[in-house]
Copies of this chain bind each other. A is one copy, B any other.
Amino acid sequence: MFALGVDPGLSRCGYGAVRNAGGRLSVEAYGHLTTPVDDPLSERLGALWGDLTQLLADLRPDVVVVERVLFQVNARTAMSVGQASGLALAAAARAGCPVVQYSPNEVKLAVVGYGAATKEQVQRMVQVLLDLADPPRPADRADALALAVCHLSGAGLRAAAGAAGAQP
């Protein structure tokens, strides 16, 4: 099973591709897509669509794992994150990929074992679980890898089902 995690964002859209081969997780690719902050919104979203489509064509994941966007304090940011998430979901569907979504809390619970984990804890746990030399930075990259890990480990599913005791 080969999962592509996507942490949607307009200025920075994290992605992380993780393969589960017989229970062993390995990273195939990770990084983030950016759009120029000074460009018009429509141009930025158009560019992000192109990049997401290319990424899906290059990686051909079995499943795309997209963070479920929740409303945040900053309404302006939440809207652009929502718009970016719409593109990620639609691009995956257009590429014929199944899509699953997890909330940030579900991912933290699955990967760190604690729904209110800090960004640093997620970065550190992703580093350990995926045997990386350094914690993935910036946080968008770690979050995208954590989404893929959450799905591949099945811990996300257990968390979603409300089962207690998910462990890192």
Please report A residues at the B interface, Cβ cutoff 8 Å.
40-43, 45-50, 64, 66, 69, 71, 75, 78-79, 82-87, 89-94, 99, 101
Contact partner of A49 (CB less than 8 A), chosen from B40, B50, B78, B90, is: B90
- A–B Cβ pairs within 8 angstroms, 12 of them: A41-B99, A42-B92, A42-B93, A49-B93, A49-B94, A50-B94, A82-B82, A82-B83, A82-B86, A83-B85, A86-B86, A87-B90
Number of copies: 2
B79 and A48 within 8 A (CB) = no
Residue ID in chain B nearest A98 by CB atoms: B42
A71 and B75 within 8 A (CB) = yes
Known contacts A49-B90, A49-B94, A75-B71; A42 and B99 CB within 8 A of each other: yes
Q: Tell me whether chain A's interface is mostly helix, strand or loop, or mixed.
A: helix
Residue ID in chain B nearest A46 by CB atoms: B93
Specify which chain B residues have a CB less than 8 angstroms from the CB of A101 in the assembled complex: 41
A45 and B93 within 8 A (CB) = yes
Specify which chain B residues have a CB less than 8 angstroms from the CB of A71 in the assembled complex: 75, 78-79
